[in-house]
Amino acid sequence: GIQVEQSPPDLILQEGANSTLRCNFSDSVNNLQWFHQNPWGQLINLFYIPSGTKQNGRLSATTVATERYSLLYISSSQTTDSGVYFCAVDHTGTASKLTFGTGTRLQVTL
């Protein structure tokens, strides 16, 4: 099956700092999404981005499908950004199944 690797696995930032999270995948994909899992366990949709670039406030994402990677940028981080960030891809074309990466655990401190 497809492999989805995220880096770094853990990240500690001071409030106000910027960061880049990376997602590499081993095969072509039909769908790529970024999620934030907050400390209460909820999965929050950040971006649906199978290709191209999108921005939403302090967050932006870029997917280069031909090179099989996606980047999530967080600018001016806040303590509420803490949690785990997941990249998830669907490459089946038939089952609409998301394969999740192992996640990047982000902690933003004061």
Binding footprint of other proteins on the chain (CB under 8 A)? 30-31, 33, 35, 41-43, 45, 48, 86, 88, 90, 93-98, 100-103
**Closer to other proteins at the Cβ: 13 or 106?**
106
Locate the DSSP E strands across 19-102.
19-25, 31-37, 43-48, 52-56, 59-64, 69-74, 83-90, 99-100
Instruction: Name the residue nearer to other proteins (CB basis): 80 or 109.
Output: 80
* Cβ atoms of residues 45 and 32 within 8 Å: no
Contact 99, 10 (CB under 8 A): no
Residue 30 Cβ vs other proteins, minimum distance, rounded to whole Å: 4
13 or 46, CB closer to other proteins?
46
Closer residue to other proteins, CB minimum distance, 86 or 108 = 86
Q: What is the Cα gyration radius of the chain? A: 13
Any bridge partners for residue 52, and if so which? 63
Q: Closest separation between CB of residue 15 and other proteins, Å?
A: 27
Q: How far is the CB of 105 from other proteins (least distance, A)?
A: 12
The total of other beta-carbon atoms located within 10 Å of residue 67's CB is: 8
Q: How far is the CB of 76 from other proteins (least distance, A)?
A: 26
